[in-house]
C-alpha cells in the first residue's frame, strides 16, 4: 500500500469524498475516559466547509461528554469499497430550531417525538486532522493482487493510505 499524505485543498477534497460516500460513522466522545464512549451516527449533512452535522438527543451520553470536552473522533468505514477514514476534531452542540427543521427527516421520528421535540440537538463536528485508507478496488481484485505478490514476490499496488492535514479555523 502506497502512502500519500494530503494537505489543505487535497485533504479537504478527500475528506468530503469519503465523509459523503460512507453513510455511517462511529462517533467517539469522552476521549479522556476509559472506556471511550462510541455510538454509530448517520451524518445529516456534510457541508462544503467540512463541518458535519448530526442530530442527537440532549440527554445522550455523547452530548453530555461533548458539553464537558469538545474533542471528538469520527471513524468511517465501508468494507464493500474498502475505504476507511479516522478524523479527529471538535464538536459543538446547537439547539437552533431552524437548523433542526432543515435537517429533519421522517426517519428521525424513530428517536424523537417529532421535530419540535425539545430534546433534539444538532452536533456540529469540525475536523482538525485524520487518516485514510483507500484500496480503490474491490475485495476480489485486492485478494488477486495479494496472491500475485505471494506467488511472485513482486509488489503490487493495492491502495493508498495517508494523513489528512486541514487548515480549518476553530469554531
**Residue 120 belongs to domain with CATH number:** 2.30.110.10
Burial class, 23, CB count within 10 angstroms (exposed 0-12 / middle 13-18 / buried 19+) = exposed
Q: Is the pLDDT of residue 171 over 50?
A: no
For cell 459523503, name the residue: 20
Pairwise pLDDT comparison (5 vs 97), residue with the higher score: 97
Domain annotation covers residue 152 = yes
Per the model's pLDDT, the better-predicted residue between 157 and 81 turns out to be: 81
The domain of 72 spans 2-165
The angle at the Cα of 27, spanning 62 to 79, to the nearest 5 degrees, equals: 155
pLDDT of 145 over the 90 cut: no
The alpha-helical segments, DSSP class H, found in 22-96 are: 61-68
Q: What is the mean pLDDT of residues 85-91?
A: 97
pTM summary value: 0.84
Q: What number of other Cβ atoms are within 10 A of residue 127's Cβ?
A: 23
Does 171 map to a domain? no
Residue 138 placed within a domain: yes
Query: Is 170 contained in some domain?
Result: no
Residue 135 clears pLDDT 60, i.e. is over it: yes
What would the pLDDT profile of 35-66 be if each residue is shown by its tens digit?
Answer: 999 999 999 999 999 999 999 999 999 999 99
| 122 within domain boundaries | yes
Going from the C-alpha of 18 to that of each of 15, 96, 134, 140, the distances in angstroms are 5, 27, 9, 21
Amino acid at each position: 500500500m502506497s502512502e500519500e499524505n494530503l494537505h489543505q485543498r487535497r485533504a479537504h477534497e478527500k475528506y468530503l469524498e469519503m465523509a459523503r460516500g460512507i453513510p455511517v460513522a462511529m462517533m467517539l466522545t469522552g476521549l479522556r475516559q476509559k472506556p471511550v464512549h462510541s455510538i454509530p451516527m448517520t451524518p445529516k449533512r456534510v457541508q462544503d466547509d467540512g463541518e458535519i452535522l448530526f442530530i442527537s438527543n440532549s440527554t445522550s451520553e455523547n452530548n453530555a461528554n461533548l458539553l464537558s470536552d469538545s474533542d471528538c473522533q469520527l471513524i468511517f468505514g465501508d468494507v464493500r469499497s474498502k475505504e476507511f477514514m479516522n478524523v479527529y476534531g471538535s464538536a459543538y452542540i446547537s439547539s437552533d430550531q431552524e437548523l433542526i427543521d432543515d435537517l429533519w427527516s421522517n426517519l428521525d421520528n424513530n428517536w424523537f417525538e417529532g421535530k419540535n421535540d425539545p430534546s433534539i440537538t444538532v452536533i456540529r463536528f469540525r475536523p482538525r486532522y485524520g487518516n485514510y485508507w483507500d484500496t480503490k478496488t474491490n475485495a476480489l481484485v485486492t485478494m488477486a493482487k495479494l496472491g500475485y505478490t505471494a506467488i511472485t514476490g513482486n509488489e503490487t499496488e493495492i491502495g493508498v493510505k495517508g494523513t489528512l492535514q486541514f487548515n480549518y479555523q476553530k469554531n
